[in-house]
Amino acid sequence: MSDCIFCKIVKGEIPSTKIFENETVIGFKDLRPQAKIHQLFIHKSHTKDINDLAKNDPKELSDVFNAIRTYTMNEGLEKGGFRVVTNLGPNAGQTVFHTHFHVLAGEPLGHFGS
């Protein structure tokens, strides 16, 4: 999509602080961190949300989660724990409509769910 900020990051049209990249996925620092470590992971191909991604090409979902696994293991984040979050739609807080996953870590995170 020509007006998608994350697609522009993939193309190198907008700078980002990349923390991970392979042939299908990019990870970069969130500009408005909600934790000491707050990274975003996106597939290089555009889908609007997790349902769109899972419906169109479920392999892309595993591409992203394998990238998150590689990054968190390389950084030792599994020792202290981390959270992976995605939002679907404006009511859930989605502001960029390119499927993305937040990886939060580096400090105690508030209790969420059970």
β-strands 18-21, 37-43 pairing: unpaired
Residue of 38, 46, 100, 111 marked catalytic = 100
Burial environment of residue 73 by CB neighbours within 10 A (0 to 12, 13 to 18, 19 or more): exposed
Q: Are 17 and 28 in contact (CB under 8 A)?
A: yes
Residues in contact with 50: Cβ distance below 8 Å, sequence separation at least 6, in sequence order: 61, 86, 88, 99
β-strands 100-105, 25-29 pairing: unpaired
Catalytic annotation present for 46? no
Which are the catalytic amino acids? 100
